[in-house]
Amino acid sequence: MIVTIDRLGHLGDGIAPGPIFVSGVLPGEVVEGTPDGDHLLHPKIITPSPDRVKPPCRHARACGGCQLQHASDAFVAAWKQEVVANALAGQGLTAPFQPLVTSPPGSRRRATLSARRTRSGVLIGFHARASDTLAEIPDCRLLHPGILAAFPGLQALVQAGGSRTTELSLQVTLTRGGPDVSVTGGKPLDSALRLDLARLVEAHGFSRLTWDGEIVALRDRPALTMGQATVIPPAGAFLQATAEGEQALLAAVRQALGPQKRVVDLFSGTGTFALPLAEAMDVHAVEGDAGMTQALDLAARNTPGLHRVTTETRDLFRRPLEPDELKPFSGAVIDPPRAGAEAQTGRLAASAIPVIAAVSCNPVTFARDARSLTDAGYRLDWVQVVDQFRWSTHVELVARLSR
């Protein structure tokens, strides 16, 4: 069967008339393959796109961590902005776009790896696309060299505490004290395993090891820098994937807010935005996870020279801040998870806050929430796409909305 690709879907698959879905292709390409329902298997490129490039990573074909290494950087940038524009158009919205910012290769400082023991040792990597097969990634072009350097230690942890019948999940975050590792799916802890794991943490320079939710070793503080502040996050806490992406998001948030006296940071996490913003304005940070709120509060209290920082642990899905609670603020930052923040956005729409910096990792839920704000009288001033998940279909953005 021969098809011509019309466009890419939001998961990066090529779509031909039918629709027929084809992986690893680009718009305009003529492709031959074996039909299987609405998919074309084993695609062979007959006419390549001028945007097709040789994947920079030798693991690209086997590994499912990246979906777009076969596309030029210019194509990916334009496509990601198009994804956002299409999501907005679906809600009847348009906006000017600021130039996209892309994180460089080898900058991913946080990753969740899969691992298991084998007869010959330990296998660590990412799953192949839509498969349980694990692909080894010793030369991964995405991960920060500090994470790749941690692989021998991670392999030792899996050898000590893994089994050949179950798969482990390894969340690794680079910190100033060394890699912070959180493992799930390992063997039950006993005194011998605890001792072995503690020795491995010391030997391989990990800062902290958490095993199925329990901290079993702390060699050094897993410290992160946010603005002028030092944050010690709880194990497994959210962190922007790259330092460059975090700085791009922060710069866009600062641009969106402009000079303010007092702002509210909704879904504040451990202070990605709240702590740097507090260098110039008062900030009230609201987060549903008590551990993250406590880490933010401790960092603020131990950082001289900041403006006033207050914190509140609150489930903003069930108990969003009400319009009367939003009255003291001249600006708001909102950075919800992928599901968006329909309830809290509705309260913002009913408030008189002059300017909102909206951060999102899901263009569809962002567009939905932006529509409720524009229906209430806000203007969508601009959108900034930030691509810190290089070569993936993941899209992040910051937008400015003002009354």
Q: Is 66 a catalytic residue?
A: no
Q: Are 35 and 20 in contact (CB under 8 A)?
A: yes
Phi, psi of 45 (to 5 degrees): -75, 120
Contact 391, 67 (CB under 8 A): yes
Task: Out of 63, 66, 140, 361, pick the active-site residue.
Answer: 361
Question: How far apart are the C-alpha atoms of 308 and 301, rounded to whole Å?
Answer: 9
Q: Among 347, 327, 326, 344, which Cα is nearest to 335's?
A: 344
DSSP for 197-260 reads HHHHHHHHT-SEEEETTEEEEESS---EEETTEEE-PPTT----S-HHHHHHHHHHHHHHH-S-
Cis peptide before 99 (omega within 30 of 0): no
Are 329 and 312 a contacting pair, CB within 8 Å? no
Q: How many C-beta neighbours within 10 Å does residue 132 have?
A: 8
Alpha carbons 307 and 175: distance in angstroms, whole number: 26
Query: Residues with Cβ < 8 Å from 111, sequence gap 6 or more?
Result: 143, 147, 171, 172
The answer to whether 260 and 238 have CB atoms below 8 angstroms apart is no
Any idea which residue has 């791009």 for tokens? Answer: 248
Pairing of β 178-184 and β 208-211: parallel
Dist. CA 101–CA 97, nearest whole Å: 11
Q: How far apart are CA 187 and CA 206, in angstroms?
A: 20
Specify burial of residue 6 (Cβ count, 10 A radius: 0-12, 13-18, 19+): middle
Crossing angle of helices 151-161 and 191-204, in 10° steps, is 170
- Residue 61 corresponds to which amino acid? R
Contact predicate 184/212, CB 8 Å: yes
Q: Which residues are catalytic?
A: 361
